[in-house]
Every structure is written in C-alpha cells, then in structure tokens.
Structure 1
C-alpha cells in the first residue's frame, strides 16, 4: 500500500508544484519582469517532478515522526521540521547538480543569492522549503493522510494516476530528446546552458516576429533549436566581448 500512496503523492505533489511555480513566475519572479505566463521546468505537461519527490519525503518524515512518537515533544517536532527542510534542500541539490554535471544544464540559478552552493541551493530557498515543510506538517498532513486512505479505498482513481504516469513517461522521453540536443551543443562549445534563459530567448525571438509562443512547448519554433542555441551563444559572447 505504501507504494500506492507514494504514487498518489508524486502525482499530487508534481501537479501542485507546477501550479506554485507558474504563479511564482507570473507574479513574483525578477527574471520575468513582463509577468508573462511561463511553463516551468523541463517537462511539457503540468507537473514538476521535484515537488512530487518532495511531497513523498514530507509525508514519510511526518509519518515517521508520528509513529515513532518523536513529535510528542517540542524538540522532536522541531527535529522533524529540520529534517523536512534538509530533505527538500537535498532533493533540489541532487536535481540541480545532476543536470549541471551530466547535461551541462542549469535549470535554475541562485548564483546571485547570498550563501549559495554552486548556484543550486541557498539559505533563502532552504528557508522557503522549511516554511513549506512546516505548512505541510501543521496544515496539510492530516488532510493528506485522510485523502490517501480514501484513495486507497476507491481504487478506481488508479485509472487517473495510471493515465498521469503514462503521459508523464511519454513527456520524459520527449523532454529527454531536447535535453540531449542541448547537452551535445553545450559539450561541443564547453558551456553551461541556462535553461530558463534559453526559453526566454526563444520567446523574445517569437515576439520580435509577432509570433505566438506555445505555452506547453516553449522550444517549438520555425527556427531549428540548433539555430536558437547558436544565436543565443553568439549574443552572450558579444556581451562578454563588450565588457572586456
């Protein structure tokens, strides 16, 4: 049953995380001054896997704290909350370092934030993860537990989750194809590609020619992806040359 619960949690967390990221980029992100609607992450569909894994860890840690009796004391509760923040930060770091070292791809960049590590994690966002963990434990965990019990007793909902994982698998294969092209270009030119900056470059190129950007398929364009990469790389090199 725990595997089924984790599948549900990954499904719910990925969807909820996507909504959070879309709203953050729309209303709060400094990298989106025009406040446009931007599809976050490297997947096409409405899900961010990092949040799916994150919700699984939050549930497991909260469940462990309750069953072990650790949360019976204030100190124990604080320990569980610290473990939640650490787990979320670890998930973020692992995802970021794998994309950076394996694919030469920077999915997000905290380089300008104080105390950052490799531009992947920083104290500010670890504090945000801590706040999310606390909100989950005190506000959502009882509801999530009840929901999982209900889902476990209504197995017809498995069809929805199964459909989600089917679409998600296809999406991963499609997105992996794009990431492979980006990795090849990055390796050939010995550079790190900033994923969101590249999407912004393509979006601005569409706007310049009065073309509509595809929300779900930000890399869809009349111009080959390789040309966008060359143009973006050339623009960066020109900026660096001017600074010298």
Structure 2
C-alpha cells in the first residue's frame, strides 16, 4: 500500500510540475529581451499546457530533498548550499539528456542557449544551472515543508484520482499527436542534414502567417493554413541565407584584421 501511495504522489508531482513549469516558461518567454514584440509563446513541443521536463524536475526535487539527512555537514548554511548544488546538477543533467535525445534522434533543438557563455551545444549553460539551483531553493523552503500533508489529503480524495486520470489521458493523446508532427520535422531535417531550432521554427511560422494574414494558433502552432512542408522549405531557405551572411561577415572581419 505504501508503494501505491508513493506512486500516486509521484504521479501528482509530475503532472503539477508539467503545468507549473509551463506557466513559468510562458511568462518568462513573454518578457525575455529577445521577444521584443512581447507576443505570447507556447513553449515546448506539446500542444497542451504542460512541459514534461519540469514534471521530471519536480519529481527529482522531491526525491533529492530527502538527501539532506545524508549530507553530514555541521554548518547548516553550507549543508543547504550543497543540497541546492546537487539539485542544480541533477536538473542540468535532465536538461542535457532531453536536449541530446531530441538533437540526436529527432534533429530538433527544443531550446537554444547558444547566446549564453560557456554553453554546451546550446542545451545547457551555467546561467540556467544557477536558475535550477534557485528553483530548488524555492521548492525546498516554500513547497516541500507542506507537500506531504497536502498530498496525503489529496490521495485519499476520490476526485483527486479522477483529476490525475484525466490529466494523463489528455497527456498521452497530446504526446501521440505532437510526435506525429515532430516526425515530419525529423524527416525534413534528416533529408537536409540539419538540426531545426524548434522555437525559431514556430517564430518563423507565426511571422509568415502574419505576413500572409493567416490565422496563427497559440496552442496548435504547427497547424497552418498553408502547407506545413512549404513553411519548412521557407525556414530552410532562411537558415541558409543567415549562414551565407555569417560567412560573409566573418570574411570581411578577417580582411579588415589582415589589413591592420
């Protein structure tokens, strides 16, 4: 019975993390400096309001919080800092694994940290590892102390089981739908030997739709009035043009340096 209870807790934490993380990302992307137009962006590759990365992250934070008793350091502050460091490393590892899987097997980069210092393949960087540490601290001080009592009450409520079942039913359907769309992108990327930046592709579709006065969908970002294949071709042309411009700029800079 204890195992079932723990599984229910983990199932709830995953679903809560997915939804809360999605909300955090929506607000962050709305106000990030690169979003000069201040448009609302649906993050991730799924249609609905959830991000699995944060779901796994919240489950991991819950499990790691129990490690505090095994960190034998007398100084309480240092002990907490070590715990938050472990949380940051673990979350960064999840980010790395998820990013690598999509790049290697799907030819898709779901997020891009290329503009941040000391990044690795644009999927992890110290800046966001620090953010994970801060989120770990927020979870530890504001959520974890109250989570067990709350979850115990929820797990004994019949409505709780219905909500969890409903969430996972919709979630599985969304996964099937979204991976079907991703397969088209994967095939196109493999044929053209490229890695597609997913958020950049969605931005390209939105801007192209606005120029053509077509309807752009916040949730169904890849569902377009124009053929999706045509958008992919236009995206490829735009990427190649940017590469040519970068090469030209590098050539000019080298010429100027040589003259100096």
TM bin, normalised by shorter chain, reads: over 0.9
Partner residue, 1:26: 30
| Among 42, 47, 51, the residue aligned to 1:44 | 47
Range that drifts further, 230-239 or 128-137: 230-239
What pairs with 1:183-222 in structure 2 (closer than 5 Å)?
183-222=186-225
CA contact (8 A) 1:71 1:77 kept: no
What pairs with 1:20-169 in structure 2 (closer than 5 Å)?
20-27=24-31, 29-66=32-69, 68=70, 74=76, 75-169=78-172
Shift of 1:148: 1.2
The whole-number CA distance in structure 1 between the counterparts of 2:81 and 2:239 is: 46
Is 1:17 matched with 2:21? yes
The whole-number CA distance in structure 1 between the counterparts of 2:149 and 2:225 is: 49
The whole-number CA distance in structure 2 between the counterparts of 1:57 and 1:21 is: 19
Gaps of 5+ in 1: none
The whole-number CA distance in structure 2 between the counterparts of 1:45 and 1:58 is: 23
Gaps of 5+ in 2: 249-260
Is 1:237 matched with 2:244? no
Residues 85-129 of structure 1, C-alpha deviations (whole Å, 9 max, x = no match): 111111111111111111110111111111111111000000010
CA contact (8 A) 2:17 2:54 kept: yes
Shift of 1:149: 1.4
The whole-number CA distance in structure 2 between the counterparts of 1:21 and 1:50 is: 11
- Normalising by structure 2, what TM-score? 0.88
Partner residue, 2:179: 176
The whole-number CA distance in structure 1 between the counterparts of 2:162 and 2:73 is: 36
CA contact (8 A) 2:215 2:225 kept: no
Query: Alpha carbon RMSD of aligned pairs, Å?
Result: 1.6
Residues 15-50 of structure 1, C-alpha deviations (whole Å, 9 max, x = no match): 0000000000111x2332111111110000000000
Shift of 1:82: 1.4
| Count of matched residue pairs | 242
CA contact (8 A) 1:71 1:80 kept: no
The whole-number CA distance in structure 2 between the counterparts of 1:60 and 1:223 is: 46
- Normalising by structure 1, what TM-score? 0.94
Runs of 4 or more consecutive aligned structure 1 residues displaced over 4 Å after TM superposition: 68-73
The whole-number CA distance in structure 2 between the counterparts of 1:39 and 1:129 is: 21
CA contact (8 A) 1:65 1:71 kept: no
